[in-house]
Structure 1
Amino acid sequence: MQQYKKLTPKAVLELAAPHTWPAAVFPVLLGSLLALVMTGKFHLGLFYSTLGVCVLLQCGVNTLNDYVDFIKGTDTVENSHDPTDAALVYHGFHPKKALATGLVFLLLAFCCGIYTLCLCGWQPLIYGALGGAVVLLYSFGKTPLSELPVGEVSSGVVMGGLIPMSCYYVQTGVHDPLILLLALPMIISVGLIMMMNNTSDIERDLPVGRITLPGILGRHKASLLLKVLLAGEFVILLLLGMEYSPRGMTLYPALALWMFLTVWPVWKGALTPENRIRNMIRIVQIHSCVSVCWLLVIGGGYLMENLL
């Protein structure tokens, strides 16, 4: 009979994967900032509650993904070279504890959401139900979304688009489709995090039946598409900034240089399994860089209009 180890706080933290939290934090910041800039409304308590919901949902998704990958044999000692990226493989605790931990994260997210509902009414549940459904479909079922060519799109739209829209509604009480357009830089950058992961994991995904977009395209075409989308973010941010925050675009030259210096190592590097950890760190840095730049353009324009 296999002997399992205890689930330690270190293992829980690795399951939660804090390095992925920017994918949840920046969309909340964007939706809340757009509410302030476009309507003048901002509630600090609601900001913290939506931030808690989104970060805890991210922790839950990360944990449940690790659980499913371990159960299906995708994560093994042979193909998981970073001990901090495969908690179930290296810490030796029972897989059901990972499942329970993931469900606890989701329960805590629900508890944070109760505060939001008490102040805003039931309508935020629409966003919560959509997000929760995607979370479950992403990790569970006969064929989870994470194992299909739509994984990048679903994660990008939900994390990068749905979260800003929901946070904007929570702050303002208004459903505004324009927020989805203004969230486009984050939709792309969140999707690219998943695309980078899947491009690096082609060799270990295909044998276990994971048919991801990079798996279909192949490494060369997937790498090319990723780099084209990275370049496209510069153009999209430029066009959106010129249309919706022209004063904030005075910051763009310096911000564009920062983005270029952040993106360049990925552009010239190889998206191979050996470079997986390095590339994942870089793509999260790119997401953070693009998000901060877009927030500075919007926030900077708002300050210039109101203080100068």
Structure 2
Amino acid sequence: METKMEAPAAVQANKGFRVWWQLMRPHTLTAGFVPVTIGTALALHEGQINILLFLAMLIASLLIQAATNMFNEYYDYKRGLDNEESVGIGGAIVRDGVKPETVLGLALSFFGIATLIGVYICMESSWWIAVIGIICMLVAYLYTGGPLPIAYTPFGELISGLFMGLIIILLSFYIQSGSVTTESILISIPISILVGAIMLSNNIRDLDGDKENGRKTVAILIGRKNAVNLLAAMFAVSYLWVAGLALSNEFSFWLLLVFLSIPKANEAVKGFKGKMKPIEMMPAMKATAQTNTIFGLLLTIGLTVSFFL
């Protein structure tokens, strides 16, 4: 009897962990940590790195990204957009029975922890960081919350790329170096594009459902085929941009390491072509996020290696 009772408890525990992990939508968390590592690696060229500041920025960025995903889960449920058959969602509310208020409360708790970490970052750098941090959290909330969510408009890719790419890289660079340079802005552009690509891949997958619910995403406005072509163009521009930086006098040829991630970008584009069902496009969406991760890590390695050589 004891053996029979212990197994279900273990299964339940594993399921519980899976529910909360999926709620954070781990495939999107790459947009939280890649910009921080790049901004910090670039700051190496300006002086020594404060590891505690790096870790604080990393954790705060991941918490805000996870909270954004939870707001998405909560408000899509409240608007009746999610059901048990919905693909790509955490599913904590509609499939696993988690109370909507619990999801909202957890998201706000993550914001609260990120705010406390932000106070430490400000104490070690500048209180102007607090202003930018508040704006970032407001945008994160308004991405799916509020009367007109950003995610329902054609500006989702642009806003996400701007804040989770350029802004986070510049913040990560600034808290270490105390400045914002032309180089830091230039290096943030391809990552901003790739973060936007993650959002675009999500909107390509959800095109039909979003259209039925009155959303006006870029994928809906230009159509699925053109959206996939746009995704390919975003990848191409990111690689060409880095190639241009590597050929300039301000950066090293080591940045060309990012080209090792091209097969994954190619996999993402091919994975969308000819697909119509959301479940069929999940591997392509995953490959898009992986492209950002691999590209970002290789860029970080390139920046770090060029500092020591």
| TM-score, scaled to structure 1 | 0.89
Which residue is 1:263 aligned to? Answer: 265
- Contact 2:53/2:176 (CA < 8 Å) preserved in 1? yes
- Contact 1:247/1:300 (CA < 8 Å) preserved in 2? no
Among 219, 224, 227, the residue aligned to 2:232: 227
Distance 2:22 2:68 in 1: 13
Which residue is 2:99 aligned to? Answer: 94
Which segments of 5 or more consecutive residues in structure 1 lack a partner in the other structure? 1-6
Which residue is 1:12 aligned to? Answer: 20
Q: What's the offset of the Cα at 1:136?
A: 2.2
Q: Give SS of 2:95's match.
A: helix
Query: Residue by residue, what CA displacement relative to the aligned partner does 1:78-99 show, whole Å, maximum 9, x if unpaired?
Result: 3x146x7322221012211111
User: In the superposition, relative to structure 1, how do residues 130 and 242 fare at CA in structure 2: closer, same or farther (>3 Å)?
Assistant: farther
Q: What's the offset of the Cα at 1:19?
A: 2.2
Distance 2:125 2:65 in 1: 23
- Contact 1:153/1:191 (CA < 8 Å) preserved in 2? yes
Distance 1:15 1:180 in 2: 32
Q: Tell me if 1:59 matches 2:50.
A: no
- Contact 2:24/2:90 (CA < 8 Å) preserved in 1? no
Among 17, 42, 46, the residue aligned to 2:49: 42
Query: Residue by residue, what CA displacement relative to the aligned partner does 1:205-232 show, whole Å, maximum 9, x if unpaired?
Result: 1121221110111101111111111122
Q: What's the offset of the Cα at 1:153?
A: 0.5
Which residue is 1:132 aligned to? Answer: 137
Which residue is 1:209 aligned to? Answer: 214
- Contact 1:197/1:280 (CA < 8 Å) preserved in 2? yes
Q: What's the offset of the Cα at 1:255?
A: 4.5
Q: Tell me if 1:113 matches 2:121.
A: no
Distance 2:140 2:59 in 1: 16
Which residue is 2:192 aligned to? Answer: 187
| TM-score, scaled to structure 2 | 0.89
Distance 1:231 1:23 in 2: 19
Structure 1 residues 205-214 or 9-18, which shifts more? 9-18
- Contact 2:60/2:114 (CA < 8 Å) preserved in 1? yes
- Contact 1:185/1:290 (CA < 8 Å) preserved in 2? no
- Contact 1:50/1:167 (CA < 8 Å) preserved in 2? yes
Distance 2:28 2:244 in 1: 28
Q: What's the offset of the Cα at 1:297?
A: 2.3
Distance 2:247 2:306 in 1: 11
Q: What's the offset of the Cα at 1:10?
A: 3.4
- Contact 1:248/1:302 (CA < 8 Å) preserved in 2? no
User: In the superposition, relative to structure 1, how do residues 153 and 61 fare at CA in structure 2: closer, same or farther (>3 Å)?
Assistant: same
Q: Tell me if 1:245 matches 2:257.
A: no
Structure 1 residues 273-282 or 153-162, which shifts more? 273-282
Distance 2:106 2:145 in 1: 15
Q: Which amino acid aligns with 1:61?
A: T
User: In the superposition, relative to structure 1, how do residues 181 and 207 fare at CA in structure 2: closer, same or farther (>3 Å)?
Assistant: same
Measured on the aligned residues, the alpha-carbon RMSD in Å equals: 2.1
Q: What's the offset of the Cα at 1:187?
A: 0.3
Among 78, 81, 102, the residue aligned to 1:74: 81
- Contact 1:162/1:180 (CA < 8 Å) preserved in 2? no
Which residue is 1:291 aligned to? Answer: 296
- Contact 2:270/2:284 (CA < 8 Å) preserved in 1? no
Query: Residue by residue, what CA displacement relative to the aligned partner does 1:248-284 show, whole Å, maximum 9, x if unpaired?
Result: 25xx3x642x222212222322253232321221111
Q: Say how many residue pairs are matched.
A: 293
User: In the superposition, relative to structure 1, how do residues 158 and 61 fare at CA in structure 2: closer, same or farther (>3 Å)?
Assistant: same
Which residue is 1:22 aligned to? Answer: 30
Q: What's the offset of the Cα at 1:129?
A: 2.2
Q: Which amino acid aligns with 1:265?
A: E
Which residue is 2:10 aligned to? Answer: none
Alignment of 1:151-190 (within 5 A): 151-190=156-195
